[in-house]
Amino acid sequence: MTNKKKLGLTARIVIGMVAGIAVGFVFKLLLAGQDDRILHILGMDIALKALFVDGFFHIGGEIFIASLKMLVVPLVFVSLVCGTCSLSDTSALGRLGGKTIALYLVTTAIAISLAIFAALLISPGDGVQMQSDATFNPNEAPALSQVFINIFPSNPIDSMAKGNMLQIIVFAVLFGLAMAMSGKAGERLASVFSDLSDVIMKLVTLLMNLAPYGVFFLMAKLFTTLGLETIASLAKYFGVVMAVLLIHGVVSYAIILKLLSGLNPMIFFRKMQDAALFGFSTSSSNATMPVTMETVTKKLGVKNSIASFTVPLGATINMDGTAIMQGVATVFIAQVFGVDLTLTDYLMVVLTATLASVGTAGVPGVGLIMLAMVLQQVGLPVEGIALIIGVDRLLDMTRTAVNVTGDAMVSCIVGKSEGAFDQTVFDDENAGCKEEDVDFHHLR
């Protein structure tokens, strides 16, 4: 037995992140002005960039992201099947779906309205010169009708292979419902699924222990290559997006949570730290989903029957942070190009950005593809995106943390209103923390 107090996971992730950023900056300085630097260590020629940046950092970071993603499909499918088949009546499902989707859409609409308002107030685009050589080739954004058709899978195995979240959700819900109606056979299967769910959650816990290292590698690679110089020239745009992200992620969420569920926002934010840090360092709500799920069920006290539905749905359709970037970016681009948008145009922006988030998954940089859709809708040049691309990486990280927090907040509200919420877990400061300290000795 040792009396030495172990650092909590959040502290370890923060240390990994800060160390990664510091190491990234050192490498950036070392490599400044040259493609690679050859070091002579113990008589060997070692190329610094190839060995560390493209070697260790890249490999470590990619393995971390891949292992998170590895858990997403099995986790969503298994826990959603468990969740649906444990719902007492099928009408609860319709109510649950309606409530969740409505909350996701309303919070996104609030976020983008706030963003447009702030951008109009501060005018980040005034005085910014349009570079004539700016180019941006957007990926094709899906048509809205196709978005709805695409929700229904024709081949669930294909949906799983491609990680198409909405299709997986539809299949899992139907499968879970059928299981609930299948008497003894359904019950036997339900106990298998429940065991599977426990094992997958254990895998999430194991993986979270490695997060400080994964985050270190991700940050070290990113900050070696990140061009921070562009931020100065776009300081106003960057500042407005960041400010609105913070206001929405802290103030709006605290008010909405308090008003609609009566829960204490301070406790909520304290418990969300790990998930938000994961979102920040991976820039992907999808990859963060296992951690969000663990946080929502084990730390915040939402029952699995609700969280298994609200979290994956949120990671796919709820992107408040992304909507904020789109709102500010639209006003910014309109100002740079000298286009006056009308009130109808702004309403169109709110509507398109809110609906666009339904059809696109939460992965890094997807916000820019959605932005192309929004700009086209109001007749603004899509090339405008080239102006803001330079500072998008850091904003992507921050808005993903907001997206993830929004998913958890709505899960709490829905859980509370459906009576599927454990207040003692929410109030317990240490809930869900002990399991993070996995004793790897057992595995030897």
Q: Could you say which residues in the range 8-47 bind ligand ASP, by CB under 6 A?
A: none
The span from the CA of 337 to the CA of 130, in Å, is 7
Shortest approach of ligand ASP to residue 10 CB, angstroms? 20
316 touching ligand ASP, by CB under 6 A: no
For ligand ASP, the closer CB: 79 or 284: 284
φ/ψ bin of 122: left (φ > 0), alpha (ψ from -120 to 50), beta (otherwise): alpha
- Cα–Cα distance measured from residue 128 to residue 329, given in angstroms and rounded to the nearest whole number: 13
* Cβ-closest position to ligand ASP: 367
CB of 326 to ligand ASP, least distance (A): 9
What is the per-residue binding string for ligand ASP in 361-390, x denoting contact by CB under 6 A?
Answer: -xxxxxx-----------------------
Nearer to ligand ASP, 175 or 278 (CB): 278
Residue closer to ligand ASP (CB basis): 282 or 308: 282
Give the residue, chosen from 86, 100, 205, 284, that forms a contact with ligand ASP under the rule CB under 6 A: 284
Angle between helices 235-246 and 320-336 (to 10 degrees): 150
Distance CA 160, CA 105 (A): 25
The answer to whether 354 touches 108, Cβ cutoff 8 Å, is yes
Q: By CB under 6 A, tell whether 319 contacts ligand ASP.
A: yes
Q: Which is nearer to ligand ASP, 85 or 169 (CB)?
A: 169
Q: Which amino acid is at 43?
A: G
Q: Which is nearer to ligand ASP, 85 or 319 (CB)?
A: 319
Q: Total residues contacting ligand ASP (rule CB under 6 A)?
A: 15
Site for ligand ASP in 396-435 (CB under 6 A): 396, 399-400, 403
For residue 38, the cross-strand partners are: 47
Among the listed ranges 2-10, 250-258, 280-288, 371-379, the one in contact with ligand ASP (CB under 6 A) is 280-288
Beta partners for 302? 421
- 407 vs 292: CA distance, rounded Å: 8
281 binds ligand ASP (CB under 6 A): no
Minimum distance of ligand ASP from residue 253's CB (angstroms): 15
Q: Does 220 bind ligand ASP (CB under 6 A)?
A: no
Is residue 285 at the binding interface for ligand ASP, with CB under 6 A as the rule?
A: yes
**SS3 (DSSP) at 308:** helix
Q: Does 359 bind ligand ASP (CB under 6 A)?
A: no
Taking phi over 0 as left and psi of -120 to 50 as alpha, with beta for the rest, 253 belongs to alpha
User: 177 vs 394, which CB is nearer to ligand ASP?
Assistant: 394
Q: CB 414 → ligand ASP: shortest distance, Å? A: 20
8 A C-beta contact, residue 327 and residue 353: yes
Site for ligand ASP in 321-340 (CB under 6 A): 322
Per rule CB under 6 A, is residue 227 in the interface with ligand ASP?
A: no
Show contacts with ligand ASP in window 128-167 (CB under 6 A): none
Residue 353's closest CA among 334, 325, 374, 380? Answer: 374
For the chain, what is the largest distance between any 2 Cα atoms, rounded to a whole number of angstroms?
Answer: 73
Buried b (16+ CB within 10 A) or exposed e, 158-186: ebbeeebbbbbbbbbbebbbebbeeeeee
Note the residues at the interface with ligand ASP (CB under 6 A).
Answer: 283-285, 319, 322, 362-367, 396, 399-400, 403
